[in-house]
Each structure stands twice: as C-alpha cells, then as structure tokens.
C-alpha cells in the first residue's frame, strides 16, 4: 500500500487565501519529510469549499519546494478546459519537477462552477473519452494528429516535452460500473474510485481488473478524511468538520448548494448519516489502531493499493493536522509495508 495526501484547501471560516496557501506548502513539505509518496490537488472554483482552483500552478510552486514527493491532480475536470492546454500545463509541471507528475482526469461535478465558466458538463461518454485520448496523445513527445468525432487536430507537436512518456494517467471510475472499469484499465490508466460509498459497501475493483487478464499492473487509488489522535474529544471534533465537508459536497453535487458571496452554507440533507455512522463507516478517524482497521477494510473491500489521506478538511487547525500526519506516518503506515493482500 502506498500513501499520499489529498488537498482541497478548505476554509469554512473564509480565512485569507495567503494563509491557506502557506498552510498547504507546510503540509506538503511535512508530507515529503514523513515519506508520503505523493500529494494530490483537487480543482474547484469560486467557493470556500476549495482554494485549489489552479492545481498546475500550485504544483509548479511545490515542485520548487520539494525533491522527492510526486505531484498529482485529483482531478482535472476536462470539460472545463481545452485538452491541449491541459497537456501543455501537465508537461510543464513534469519538466519543472524532473518527472514527478501524476495526471488525474475526470468529468467534474459541480454545476455551479460549470455555469460560471460557460462550460457544459460532458454527458456523452464518447466525447469525454476523446478529450482524454487527445490529452494523452499530446503528451507522447511525438508529432500527432487527431481525428475524432467531436474534435480534429492537424499535425501538432506539444512543447514542452514531458520527462515521462507519458506521465502516469489516473482516471475516475464508478466502482460499480464494470464496463467503465474495464475500459479504463485496458487503456493503461490507473483508477480513482470508491470515494463516496460507505466502507462496508465497497465494490472490489481489484477483482474486476484481475479478471481482465491484462499484461500490466493497474493501480487502484482512493481517499478518505483521515485524523489520527489518542484524544476522543479531538476525534469527535474532527468528525464534525467532516460533516461540514460532506454537507457542502453533497449540495454542490446535486446543485442545491447555497452560496452567499462565495461562501458555501452547509445545510443538513435528507437521510444524511449521523456523526456515529460517519465515524464508523465513512472516514479514517481515531486511534492509530482504529485507523489501521479502517484502512484494512478499505484495502480488502476495494482492492486498493494506493490510499490518499485527506488530513485537512473543514476548519481543522493546522497544528492538529500536522500532529495527525506524524502519528499516521509513525504508527499507521508501518502496518502496510507489505504488498496489497490478494482479494
């Protein structure tokens, strides 16, 4: 099992962006020091749900402040962008980081930001697949042309050329959609999945991939809120911060969110899980032993070999985040030093 960190850079209390970015840099530098494999940045726009609106720009900055940790996008919502410009930005980060880019791609889900960027969610699977194919084709360091149904590109060579040929591609899939899992795996992509389901109801994607009999390894990654502590009261407070994140995320996903002057207002939603259910079946929060147990459940249920920790959620204080990261590295990560267990 490999471990990374996932950053939304949230601020329910709407703290200054300069403070949010300084905190992000400190967290990433700490993650490198502690031996995490990668940092993954989200892309969201126009609310305090996330200050990470330009992940390639921030990754370029992080490349200059780190030496080993890999730099990932989780994810770039391709329908908001021209694929060739995404490829150029990705290649630039790969060059500046000396080949450390991990490129995560997806469709995006927040209608609020699509509306403000005059973009359309891509509901046509074939059209979206062409966006992905064009992005990947452009990163292969050779002249290419593209003749799709929705986009045609005359002979083109991308500059700069990425160091990796191409960088590893990660693709968001619904774990219950076997056809989508199979299609992405056959294209040589790693998979992001199993983020929304309760831990007790995860679908084993590893078993689906192994049944395909492919000649290459497919990494399966997921992420959850993580907070490691020996304090029961701190754990309860962390779950309350997760609840803010969950309420805003669900509201934005279903286009029912209340946004006032760029600030997301969390509202309870029908049949939302209780704090007790969140703690038991949605997150990795508690003592080191409990966190190990929860990640084992995710590892076995999903077949994941990559787990990205969302240490910063809601208004969790920076000192608690850093202490949680250190406890995770010292007392949780060593339990997963062996390869992923067979499904």
> Rounded to whole angstroms, how far apart are CA atoms 43 and 48?
12
Average pLDDT score, the chain:
96
* Cβ atoms within 10 Å of 2's Cβ, excluding its own: 17
53-79 confidence digits (pLDDT tens): 999 999 999 999 999 999 999 999 999
The pLDDT assigned to 286 comes to 98
When pLDDT is cut at 50, 70 and 90, the band that residue 257 belongs to is confident
Q: 136 near 127, Cβ under 8 Å?
A: no
The pLDDT assigned to 339 comes to 59
In the predicted model, is pLDDT for residue 193 greater than 90? Answer: yes
2-51 confidence digits (pLDDT tens): 999 999 999 999 999 999 999 999 999 999 999 999 999 999 999 999 99
When pLDDT is cut at 50, 70 and 90, the band that residue 122 belongs to is confident
201-240 confidence digits (pLDDT tens): 999 999 999 999 999 999 999 999 999 999 999 999 999 9
Q: How is domain 2-335 classified at the architecture level of CATH?
A: Alpha-Beta Barrel (3.20)
83-105 confidence digits (pLDDT tens): 999 999 999 999 999 999 999 99
In the predicted model, is pLDDT for residue 301 greater than 80? Answer: yes
* Cβ atoms within 10 Å of 258's Cβ, excluding its own: 11
In the predicted model, is pLDDT for residue 341 greater than 60? Answer: no
pLDDT average, residue stretch 246-253: 93
In the predicted model, is pLDDT for residue 342 greater than 50? Answer: no
The pLDDT assigned to 343 comes to 41
The pLDDT assigned to 133 comes to 97
* Cβ atoms within 10 Å of 142's Cβ, excluding its own: 11
The pLDDT assigned to 16 comes to 96
Q: 204 near 302, Cβ under 8 Å?
A: yes
Helix (H), strand (E), coil (C) string for the chain = CEEEEEECCCCCCCCCHHHHHHHHHHHHHHHHHHCCCEEEECCCCCCCCCCCCCHHHHHHHHHHHCCCCEEEECCEEHHHCCHHHHHHHHHHHHHHCCCCEEEEEECCCCHHHHHHCCCCCCCCHHHHHHHHHHHHHHCCCCCEEEECCCCEEEEECCCCCCCCCCCCEEEECCCCCHHHHHHHHHCCCEEECCCCCCHHHCCCHHHHHHCCCCCCCCCEEEEEEEEECCCHHHHHHHHHHHHHHHHHHHHHHCCCCEEECCEEECCCCCCCCCHHHHHHHCCEEECHHHHHHHHHHHHHHHCCCEEEEECCCCCCCHHHHHHHHHHHHHHHHHHHCCCCCCC
Give the percent of the chain with pLDDT over 90.
94
Residue length of the chain: 343
In the predicted model, is pLDDT for residue 175 greater than 80? Answer: yes
Closest C-alpha among 283, 252, 282, 293 to residue 269? 252
Q: Give the residue extent of every domain in the chain.
A: 2-335
pLDDT average, residue stretch 142-150: 95
Closest C-alpha among 80, 79, 109, 105 to residue 90? 105
The pLDDT assigned to 125 comes to 87
> Parallel, antiparallel, or unpaired for β 306-310 and 70-73?
unpaired
pLDDT average, residue stretch 311-330: 98
In the predicted model, is pLDDT for residue 340 greater than 60? Answer: no
pLDDT average, residue stretch 279-288: 98
The pLDDT assigned to 146 comes to 97
């Amino acid at each position: 099992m490999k471990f990374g960190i996932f950053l939304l850079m949230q601020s329910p209390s709407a703290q200054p962006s300069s403070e949010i970015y300084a905190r992000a840099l400190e967290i990433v530098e700490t993650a490198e020091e502690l031996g995490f494999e990668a940092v993954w940045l989200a892309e969201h726009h126009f609310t305090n749900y996330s200050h990470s609106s330009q992940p390639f720009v921030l990754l370029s900055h992080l490349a200059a402040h780190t030496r080993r940790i890999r730099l990932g996008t989780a994810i770039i919502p391709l329908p908001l962008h021209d694929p060739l410009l995404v490829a150029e930005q990705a290649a630039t980060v790969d060059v500046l980081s000396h080949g450390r880019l991990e490129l995560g791609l997806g469709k995006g889900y927040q209608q609020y930001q699509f509306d403000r960027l005059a973009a359309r969610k891509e509901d046509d699977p074939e059209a979206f697949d062409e966006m992905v194919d064009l992005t990947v084709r452009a990163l292969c360091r050779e002249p290419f042309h593209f003749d799709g149904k929705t986009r045609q590109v005359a002979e083109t060579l991308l500059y700069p050329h990425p160091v990796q040929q191409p960088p590893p591609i990660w693709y968001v899939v619904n774990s219950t959609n076997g056809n989508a899992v199979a299609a992405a795996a056959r294209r040589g992509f790693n998979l992001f999945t199993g983020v929304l389901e309760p831990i007790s109801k995860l679908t084993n994607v590893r078993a689906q991939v192994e049944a395909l009999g492919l000649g290459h390894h497919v990494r399966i990654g997921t992420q959850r809120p993580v907070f490691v502590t020996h304090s029961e009261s701190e754990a309860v407070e962390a779950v309350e911060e997760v609840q803010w994140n969950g309420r805003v995320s669900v509201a934005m996903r279903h286009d029912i969110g209340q946004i006032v002057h760029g600030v997301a207002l969390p509202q309870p939603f029908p049949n939302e899980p209780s704090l007790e259910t969140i703690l038991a079946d949605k997150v990795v929060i508690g003592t080191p032993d409990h966190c190990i147990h929860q990640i084992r459940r995710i590892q076995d249920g999903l077949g994941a070999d990559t787990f990205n920790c969302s240490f910063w959620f809601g208004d969790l204080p920076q000192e608690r985040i850093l202490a949680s990261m250190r406890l995770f590295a010292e007392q949780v990560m060593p339990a997963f030093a062996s390869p992923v267990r067979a499904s």
